[in-house]
Amino acid sequence: MSVLMLDVVTSINPPLAHLGTGFVAYFRRRTVLIITNEHVVQGAMFVRVRLPGGSQQFTGEVLVADDQVDLAIVRLVNVEGPFQRMVFADVPIDNFPWTAYAHGYFLVLGAPVINPARAPGEINGAFFRNNVHYLQGNFALQHGMSGGPVTMGNRVIGVSAAAAWGSSVIVSLRTVHMTLMFWCGLNDGDPTIDEMLEMLAAGAA
């Protein structure tokens, strides 16, 4: 199970929560790190993480978050389950368009779907805004799919962030890598995303 539903609880009394999506980026030693958007978990008291099908639920916490790049990591500790880490791609940022898929959960008649949707589309460009690198696509994103992975050939190429100006805005792996370096306190070198996730998991243990 790689693409997870996030039920973000922001208040107990009155009960307030909202829906988002995340994906398993790390799973070792009973620790799961889930990448999502910062705006998905903003104000969270805690996060209920649900597996596809709704059969299992876990309580997570926001480990790190950055509103400037709209990325966050939710952590589960001391858990067992059918978690499957997603693999990150190593892709160029040109030669558009690319055929890709956006994955995530959304509401139907006020209730969330219990299995993640897989929306096809194309990545048709890249751009910088406030020194943050994004990809631009034409996916039919629904409310709740923010924070979900965008994949090409079953490998993650970015994180769905928003639908704006009639197109989909995706946080690129370049930005994910840069943000993880900052969170790990690294100023140089070229560690992989997986290596930095291991550092975060070990440092937070």
CATH fold of the domain at 3-77: Thrombin, subunit H (2.40.10)
Q: Name the segment(s) of the chain with CATH classification 2.40.10.10.
A: 3-77, 98-176
Could you tell me the two tokens for 204? 């937070």
SS3 content of the chain, % helix, strand, coil (to 5): 15, 50, 40
What residues contact residue 100 under an 8 Å CB cut-off, 6+ apart? 120, 121, 122, 123, 137, 139, 150, 151, 152, 157
Neighbours of 125 (CB within 10 A): 14
Distance CA(99)–CA(137), nearest Å, equals: 9
pLDDT of residue 166: 62
Looking at residue 91, its pLDDT comes to: 65
Task: Say yes or no: domain 98-176 is CATH 1.10.8.190.
Answer: no
pLDDT of residue 55: 75
The strand pairing partners of 3, in sequence order, are 23
CA–CA separation, 83 vs 4, rounded Å?
9
Task: Provide the sign of the torsion angle of the four alpha carbons 18, 120, 150, 172, taken in this order.
Answer: negative
> What was the pLDDT predicted at 131?
85
pLDDT for res 167: 73
Query: CB-based burial of residue 103 (10 Å sphere; 0-12 exposed, 13-18 middle, 19+ buried)?
Result: buried
Determine the pLDDT at residue 35: 98
Is the Cβ–Cβ distance between 49 and 31 less than 8 Å?
A: no
- Tell me the C-alpha distance between 84 and 86, whole Å: 6
Chunked into runs of 10 residues, the chain (205 residues) has average pLDDT values of 90 85 95 96 93 89 96 95 92 79 87 87 92 90 91 93 76 95 91 95 72
Residue 26 CA: distances (Å) to CA of 53, 111, 126, 155, 194: 21, 29, 27, 14, 8
- The model carries a pTM of 0.94
Q: What is the pLDDT of residue 54?
A: 78
